[in-house]
Structure 1
Amino acid sequence: MKISKNKIDAETFENLCCNLDQLEEGEKVKYAQLVEPLRYFLGTEKFQSCFDGAAKCLEVINRVAVNTVTLVNDEFTPIGYGIYPEASLVNHSCEPNAVFVFRNKQLLLRTLRPIAINEEVFVSYTDQLVPKDKRRQILKQQFNFICQCSECVNEIREQLFHKKKFGTESLKNGEFSLTESGFPEVSVLPDSTESDFSKILEGVKNMNTDDCFDKLEKLGSKYFDTNLLVHELLVKCANIASHKSFKSALQFELRLLDNFQKFYPDYHPMKSLQYTRVSKIFSFLGKVRSSVEYFEKALRNIAVTHGCESELYKVISEQFNLDQREIAHFEEQSLRKTALTQK
C-alpha cells in the first residue's frame, strides 16, 4: 500500500485510529515482528526516511491493520484491500444496518433499511455467519474491542446457528465425536465450550467432499438447516451438485435460501446473491416462470444492496427480460393453438 507524500493525504492517514497503546504485549509482539522484514525489503535508508524509526513503523502497521477495508466484487468475493478514511468512521455491529459495496475501486455505503434521524450507521467487520465466540475473537485481535451489539447480547441468530430437532444426542462426524447437553428446542453443540463448536465447524468446512451428502443426511435428521454445521454441508453439497446436475443443486440452493431468509434482514447482499443463484438454475432448467419470480426478488434486493447502476443489476435485468420474453412467446403460441382448435 502506497502512503502518499501529499500533505493532506498524509495528515488524513495520521488521523486514523491507532490502538497500539491499548494492545496486550503479545499482540504488540506480532506487530513488531513485521518491522524487520519491512526494513529489509525497503532498505535501511528508505525505511528511515519513510518511518523515522521502528516506533513510527509500528504505528503505521497498526493503522493499516485497524483501518483496512476488504475490497469485494459484486458477488462479495474478496479481491484486495484498501484504506478509505471515511469508511473508518463507521462502527461495527454483528447486526448491521448498512454494507460497503464497491464499483471498481470506489467504495459505497448502502443502507439495508431506512435509517432514523440520529440513528447510528453500522457495518459488520466480520462474516455474520460465524459463531459469536469466533466473531469476538477476530474483533478483539484486529480491532481490540469486545462486541456488545444487540446480536451478541440477545443471540437471536446465534440460537439458529445451534438449533437441533430433539433431545440429547451425540454428534459423530468424521474425526470428531462430542456430546451436547440436551435442551428441548435450542442447544449448543457441543456442551463444553463455544470454541469447540467453532473447531467442529472448521472440521466440516474442511471435510472430504465425498462424505458431504452422507453427513448431511445424518446431521439433517437431528439438526435444523440453520444449524451452522448443516448449513456448511448444504453449501458444500450445492457446490458439488452444481457440477453434476442443476436439478439436484436446486434443492440445496433453495434450502440455503430459506436459511438466508432467517439469518438476514429483508435486504442483504447475501440474500441478493442467493436469489440470483436460484433464479439462474430455474432458468437453466427451462422453468422460466419460476426463474422470473426469483429474478424479480433478486432485482428488488440488488436495487437496495448494490444499486440499479451496478453491473450485477444490469446482468440480472437482461436475463430477467429474456425469460419474460420466453414466457410471452409460450403464451402467444398457446393462444394460437387454442384459436386453431376452436376453428
Structure 2
Amino acid sequence: MRETETAAERINCTANTMAGILEKFQSLGKGNGVRALKDMSHGLTVIRAVPYVYTVCRKKSACDYCLHRKEKLLRCSQCKVARYCNAHCQREAWQSHKRECKCLRSTLPNVPTDSVRLVGKIIFKMLQNPDATSEELYTISDLQSHIKEASEEVQDGLRHLATALQLYLKEEIQDISQLPPGFQAIEYFGKVTCNSFTISDGEMQDVGVGLYPSMSLLNHSCDPNCVIVFEGTCLLLRTVKEIPKGEELTISYIDVKMPTQGRRDQLQRQYSFTCDCHRCLIRDKDEDMLAGDADTSREVERSVSRLEELLSQNKAEEALNLCKTLMNRYYLPDKNIHQLKVLDCAMDACINLGLWEEALQFGLQTLEPYSLYYSNYHPVRAVQLMKVGKLQNYQGLFTEATKTLMQAFDIMKVTHGRDHNQTQQLAELLNDCEANMRGM
C-alpha cells in the first residue's frame, strides 16, 4: 500500500471534513468512538481540524494568535498580557481578544490560568454565535465532563476554577442572565479537563491549549494507530498504521514513556477510565523503563522536577551541573526513564549554553532508549533524531548527520506528512548536509 497521501487526498483545514471518511459509533466498553469508513494506509492525513477555541500557554513565549514561539513579542497595549508576533497577528486576533482583553485588564497583576482563559473564550464564542457549529460529528455541547466519576479532590479543584472564572469575567458578565443558556461553569471546566488538546510546535514543545470537539471522539490506546501533530493551531490526525475499513481510530492521550501503572493512574486521574489495551495487559516494557536499582531510580526521579524547573527559568548552567551530579552520584542504565529524562535535560542545557560537543554526546545516549519506547512511527522520536542530526551537522560530522536525519525523515513523512513545515525544514537540512558531505 502507499506510504503517504497524494495532493488530491489531502483534506483542507476546514469544517465538515469527516463525511465519507469516519463515522461515530459505540465502541465496546468505551462509549463513543470513531471508525474508518474506508481502508486507510499509514501516512495519511485523515483530518485537519481548526480549534473551536484555543489559548496560548501563559508561561510560554509564543504569539497569542499564531502560537509561533519568539523571544521578543509585542504586548497588547491595553491588557499587557496578550502578546503577538507583529501588528498583523494582533489585528487578526482582535475580534476574539477584545472581550477577554477587558477581563485580563481587570485581573492585573494576576494572570488567569490557561483553563480559565479557555472557558472564558468558550463563553464569548457561544454568546457571539450561539447557533454556530463547525463540528460534524460532535459539538461543544456534546463533550463529556465526567464530573460524577471524578474524585472529590478533582471536583474541589473545578469549584475553585469556577470561582476564579467568576472573578475573571466580572467586567463583561455581571450576572448569570448574561451567560449562555444552561451554562454551568464546573461542567465546562470538566469538559476542558477531559477534552482539551495540548497544542505543540514543530519541536513538540507545548505552546497552547485548544478544543477540537470532534477529535474528542477518538479513544485512547497505549499503542495507537494514529497520532496528532499541529501546524500552528491546526490539528492534523495522521495514520501510523494501516487501518482497514470498520476499525476504530485511536490516539494516545498521554506520553507512553512511563510504566503501565503510571499510565493507568494518569488516565484515571484525568480522564476517569482504566486502560485495558494490550500493552497495559502485558505490562509491555515496564522492566526496561525502571531498569537498575529501584532506590536509585526513585532518587533520580525526585530530582527530575527540579531539573525541569531550572530549565524553564533559563538556569541552564545550574541545570547542567545538577544533571552531572546525578549521573556521577547514581548509576542507572540509559533506558531507565528517569535517567533518560536527565540525559534529555543535560542535552537541552548544553544547547542553551552553546556546548555543542557535550550536547551531542548526551543526545546520542538517548537514541536507543527513544527507539525502544517510541517504536515504529512516533513524532517524538523523529524530533529527537532531528535534534541530534542538527548537532552532528553543526560539528561537521556530515556522514553521521545524514544517516541520523534520514532516519528522522523516514518517520516524519509518516507522522507529519511531506508538506508539513517541520518535514520541509528537515528536508532542507538533509539537503544541506548531503551537499556538505559531497564537498568534503
How does the TM-score come out when normalised to structure 2? 0.62
- Alignment partner of 1:29 out of 135, 138, 156: 156
Deviation at 1:26, TM superposition (A): 3.5
Deviation at 1:24, TM superposition (A): 3.5
Contact 2:192–2:211 under 8 Å retained in 1: yes
Name the structure 1 match of 2:133.
9
1:39-89 alpha-carbon deviations (Å, 9 max, x no partner): 233236454321557x72222222222211111111111111111112101
Deviation at 1:245, TM superposition (A): 3.1
Change over 3 Å in CA distance of 1:251–1:26 after alignment to 2 = closer
- Alignment partner of 2:400 out of 273, 286, 290: 290
Change over 3 Å in CA distance of 1:199–1:51 after alignment to 2 = farther
Name the structure 2 match of 1:84.
212
1:77-123 alpha-carbon deviations (Å, 9 max, x no partner): 11111111121011112222221111122111112222244332221
Q: Does 1:63 align with 2:191?
A: yes
In structure 1, distance between residues paired with 2:267 and 2:397: 44
In structure 2, distance between residues paired with 1:219 and 1:93: 34
Contact 2:307–2:322 under 8 Å retained in 1: no
Deviation at 1:311, TM superposition (A): 0.9
- Alignment partner of 1:234 out of 343, 353, 358: 343
Deviation at 1:235, TM superposition (A): 1.3
Change over 3 Å in CA distance of 1:31–1:51 after alignment to 2 = farther
In structure 2, distance between residues paired with 1:56 and 1:244: 50
Deviation at 1:267, TM superposition (A): 1.2
Q: Which residue identity does 1:326 align to in structure 2?
A: N
Deviation at 1:323, TM superposition (A): 2.0
Name the structure 1 match of 2:272.
144
Q: Which residue identity does 2:256 align to in structure 1?
A: Q
SS at match of 2:335: coil
Summarize the alignment of residues 175-254 of structure 1 with structure 2, pairs less than 5 Å apart: 189=297, 199=302, 202=305, 209=319, 210-220=321-331, 223-242=332-351, 243-254=353-364
Change over 3 Å in CA distance of 1:61–1:233 after alignment to 2 = closer
In structure 1, distance between residues paired with 2:294 and 2:139: 55
SS at match of 1:20: coil
In structure 2, distance between residues paired with 1:264 and 1:206: 25
Matched-pair identity in %: 24
1:107-164 alpha-carbon deviations (Å, 9 max, x no partner): 1111222224433222121122234444333322221112222232222222211112
In structure 2, distance between residues paired with 1:6 and 1:52: 9
Deviation at 1:7, TM superposition (A): 1.3
Contact 2:226–2:251 under 8 Å retained in 1: yes
Larger RCO: 1 or 2 (CA < 8 Å, sep 6+): 2
Name the structure 1 match of 2:384.
274
Change over 3 Å in CA distance of 1:315–1:48 after alignment to 2 = same
Greater radius of gyration (CA): 1
Q: Relative to structure 2, which stretch is displaced further, 107-116 or 304-313?
A: 107-116
Name the structure 2 match of 1:327.
437
Change over 3 Å in CA distance of 1:48–1:134 after alignment to 2 = farther
In structure 1, distance between residues paired with 2:306 and 2:428: 40
Change over 3 Å in CA distance of 1:24–1:237 after alignment to 2 = closer
Deviation at 1:170, TM superposition (A): 5.4
SS at match of 1:248: helix
Contact 2:383–2:408 under 8 Å retained in 1: yes
In structure 1, distance between residues paired with 2:144 and 2:227: 20
SS at match of 1:34: helix
Change over 3 Å in CA distance of 1:205–1:152 after alignment to 2 = farther
Name the structure 2 match of 1:180.
none
Change over 3 Å in CA distance of 1:60–1:313 after alignment to 2 = same
Change over 3 Å in CA distance of 1:21–1:284 after alignment to 2 = same
In structure 2, distance between residues paired with 1:152 and 1:198: 22
Contact 1:72–1:80 under 8 Å retained in 2: yes
1:220-278 alpha-carbon deviations (Å, 9 max, x no partner): 3xx32111221122112222333343222222111101110111122111111111112
Answer 1 or 2: which has greater helix percent. Answer: 1
Name the structure 1 match of 2:110.
none
Contact 2:218–2:250 under 8 Å retained in 1: yes
In structure 2, distance between residues paired with 1:262 and 1:169: 20
SS at match of 1:309: coil
Question: Where in structure 2 are there 5+ consecutive unaligned residues?
Answer: 1-120, 311-317
In structure 2, distance between residues paired with 1:72 and 1:318: 22
Q: Does 1:258 align with 2:368?
A: yes
Name the structure 2 match of 1:301.
411
Change over 3 Å in CA distance of 1:50–1:230 after alignment to 2 = same
Summarize the alignment of residues 155-194 of structure 1 with structure 2, pairs less than 5 Å apart: 155-164=283-292, 171=296, 189=297
In structure 2, distance between residues paired with 1:118 and 1:136: 27
SS at match of 1:266: coil
How does the TM-score come out when normalised to structure 1? 0.78
1:186-233 alpha-carbon deviations (Å, 9 max, x no partner): xxx56xxxxx9965654665686323224214433xx32111221122
Question: Where in structure 1 are there 5+ consecutive unaligned residues?
Answer: 172-188, 191-195, 331-343
